């Protein structure tokens, strides 16, 4: 299993959720974060000097899914969260070894 973590623009959250839902991906955990990418944030021209605004508010979506769902989810997020401008965000995929329910004793342990 994998955890797919996407850092997206907050205003795209509704779109991304809807797009994922349409394909049957519901479960997710969402966190408000701030971040900057390799572009070092946004530069505002200000009285000659440049003011750098790093730490732009972002929304982080985390979904733990089976290995086979990773690619489709990446594509859905890309399609629904993309504006083509800097700051669109990133998707990170890492391994998960156990998923355990709390409500009951269901558990999936990877290989």
Q: What is the 3-class SS of 37-92, one letter each residue?
A: CCCCCEEEEECCEEEEECCEEEEEEEEEECHHHHHHHHHHHHHHHCCCCCCCCEEE
| Lookup: tokens for 9 | 């623009």
Give how many residues touch other proteins by CB under 8 A.
14
Q: Which is nearer to other proteins, 11 or 75 (CB)?
A: 11
**Does residue 72 belong to the site contacting a second copy (CB under 8 A)?**
no
**Does residue 68 belong to the site contacting a second copy (CB under 8 A)?**
no
Residues 41-80: x where in contact with ligand ADP by CB under 6 A, - otherwise, as a string: x--------------x-x---xxx----------------
**Does residue 27 belong to the site contacting a second copy (CB under 8 A)?**
yes
Q: What is the CB neighbour count within 10 angstroms for residue 33?
A: 13
């Amino acid at each position: 299993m994998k955890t797919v973590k996407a850092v997206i623009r907050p205003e795209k959250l509704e779109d991304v959720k809807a797009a994922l839902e349409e394909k049957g991906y519901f479960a997710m955990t969402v966190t408000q974060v701030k971040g900057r990418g390799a572009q070092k944030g946004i530069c505002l021209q200000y009285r000659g000097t440049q003011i750098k605004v790093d730490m732009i508010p972002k929304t982080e979506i985390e979904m733990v899914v089976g290995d086979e769902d990773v690619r489709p989810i990446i594509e859905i997020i890309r399609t629904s969260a993309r504006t083509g401008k800097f700051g669109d965000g990133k998707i990170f995929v890492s391994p998960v070894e156990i998923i355990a329910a709390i409500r009951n004793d269901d558990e999936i342990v990877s290989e």
